[in-house]
């Protein structure tokens, strides 16, 4: 396993290419990238072009020699020990014409084959035991029986359902699944398919590992294993390549961005696409670990589907999906209401975060009144929400924040919805 000077171990660490053939992408595409970059910058140096395009200086120099031969570029001077180069009128016309096809002028893409190799080499194999999982969830109060079901699911790296009543921590648990990974992976800035550019690295969802990696091909970014979360906004379009009509650059779908990591689908069953639509789209990828995407003109190609999917829902899985799909999600974990002891621990932690004293007596008092208002089961969200309301009340009344029974009563009265115009019992909305 290659190791960088930062002691970050990488299962896949492509080295800097020395020749154009080592890039693994078509030579005309390399020429187009350099031309578009020079058109944007006006003039540049070999070093600057490497910084922008991640194409080593010797290869950039080969492109420049081609441009010189075609009278499309010239040397404008020197900057330190580097040449300053710029496009001629003919070169600007060429670059403007190539820009009509695609505006991409960022880091050079990697080949689809290289991406397949990277994802396969970086398949997650986390070492998970009870102690390690407890550390990953340390900022939550998670019942032991739930942890002991999560552990084997994470070892298997097979998809799972987290289901149960709202407010018991399903989303919070799902958000922390990626904490069991302690390694780093490389993610390409972009992938080339049939001379088309697909943007993959997304700083919004990919957490970059800072440091110098002098031997690494700059077209790859060292990141923590990704955790991508989608909720009610999930539509069929987010599962496919999306072509920007202005730039002609494709954006990778959410499952491609989550490769080698975790994809969390929150509030599953409440998306703008039906569970049946998702079933039809993903039944093959879940089974075979491969997916198929289409370019705008119909070309279909295969990509890896190497990720763990966590479905979080307050709906019964058997009522959402048929047996064929449920079989492909073997881990189904019921996140049940919290016990009185866990309720007190959550209340105590929430109080500590706000410098509020929480006694067991006050916790039992809150639990009793929550049951009276909303039924026998306690939800993990009650202590946090009640504490927030108490803080807001005392802030509004311009006095020190203190937890008392009276304040808890006032917060409960605000929190639970109870109408005098209905015979139905009170309920937490």
Q: Which of 70, 109, 293 is nearest to 197 (CA)?
A: 109
**Gap between the Cα atoms of 38 and 98, Å rounded:** 12
| pLDDT for position 418 | 63
Beta partners for residue 199, in sequence order = 190, 251
| pLDDT for position 253 | 97
| pLDDT for position 425 | 47
Q: Which of 252, 151, 155 is nearest to 199 (CA)?
A: 252
**Gap between the Cα atoms of 19 and 189, Å rounded:** 20
| pLDDT for position 419 | 47
What tokens were used for 274? 């039906």
Q: Which of 227, 236, 240 is nearest to 275 (CA)?
A: 236
- pLDDT digits 0-9 by tens, 172-190: 999 999 999 999 999 999 9
Q: Residue 198 burial (CB < 10 Å; 0-12/13-18/19+)? A: buried
Give the three-class secondary structure for 78.
strand
List, in order of start, the domains of the chain with CATH numbers: 26-108 (1.10.10.10), 120-334 (3.40.50.300), 340-415 (no CATH)
Angle among Cα 91, 93, 96 to the nearest 5 degrees reads: 110
Residue stretches of the chain with pLDDT short of 50: 1-5, 419-420, 422-426, 428-429
- Strands 290-294 vs 250-251: parallel, antiparallel or unpaired: unpaired
| pLDDT for position 317 | 85
Q: Which of 95, 291, 108, 298 is nearest to 197 (CA)?
A: 108
Q: Residue 429 burial (CB < 10 Å; 0-12/13-18/19+)? A: exposed
| pLDDT for position 6 | 52
């Amino acid at each position: 396993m290659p190791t960088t000077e930062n002691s970050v171990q990488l299962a896949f660490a492509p080295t800097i290419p020395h020749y154009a053939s080592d890039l693994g992408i078509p030579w005309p595409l390399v020429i187009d990238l350099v031309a578009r970059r020079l058109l944007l910058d006006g003039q540049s140096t070999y070093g600057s072009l490497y910084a922008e395009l991640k194409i080593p200086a010797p290869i950039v120099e080969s492109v420049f020699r081609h441009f010189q031969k075609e009278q499309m570029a010239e040397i404008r001077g020197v900057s330190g020990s580097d040449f300053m180069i710029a496009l001629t009128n003919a070169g600007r016309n060429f670059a403007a014409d190539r820009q009509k096809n695609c505006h991409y002028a960022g880091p050079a893409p990697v080949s689809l084959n290289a991406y397949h190799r990277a994802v396969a080499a970086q398949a997650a194999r986390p070492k998970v035991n009870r102690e390690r999982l407890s550390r990953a969830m340390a900022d939550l109060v998670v019942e032991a029986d739930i942890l002991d079901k999560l552990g084997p699911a994470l070892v298997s790296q097979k998809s799972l359902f987290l289901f149960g009543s709202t407010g018991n921590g399903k989303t919070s648990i799902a958000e922390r699944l990626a904490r069991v990974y302690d390694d780093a992976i490389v993610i390409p800035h972009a992938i080339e398919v049939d001379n088309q550019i697909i943007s993959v690295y997304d700083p919004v969802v990919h957490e970059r590992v800072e440091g110098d990696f002098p031997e690494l091909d700059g077209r790859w970014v060292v990141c923590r294993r990704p955790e991508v979360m989608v909720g009610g906004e999930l539509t069929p379009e987010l599962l496919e390549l999306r072509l920007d009509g202005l730039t002609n650059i494709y954006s990778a779908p959410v499952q491609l961005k989550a490769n080698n990591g975790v994809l969390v689908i929150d509030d599953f069953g409440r998306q703008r696409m039906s569970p049946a639509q998702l079933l039809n789209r993903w039944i093959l990828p879940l089974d075979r670990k491969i997916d198929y995407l289409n370019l705008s003109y119909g070309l279909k190609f295969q990509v890896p589907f190497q990720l763990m999917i966590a479905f979080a829902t307050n709906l019964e899985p058997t009522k959402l999906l048929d047996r064929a799909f449920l079989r492909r999600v073997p881990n189904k974990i019921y996140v049940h209401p919290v016990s009185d002891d866990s309720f007190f621990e959550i209340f105590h932690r929430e109080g500590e975060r706000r410098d509020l004293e929480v006694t067991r007596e006050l916790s039992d008092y809150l639990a009793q009144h929550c049951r009276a208002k909303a039924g026998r089961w306690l939800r993990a969200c009650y202590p946090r929400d009640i504490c927030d309301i108490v803080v807001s009340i005392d802030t509004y009344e311009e006095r020190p924040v203190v937890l008392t029974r009276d304040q808890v009563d006032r917060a409960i009265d605000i929190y639970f919805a109870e109408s005098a115009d209905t015979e139905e019992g009170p309920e937490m909305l």
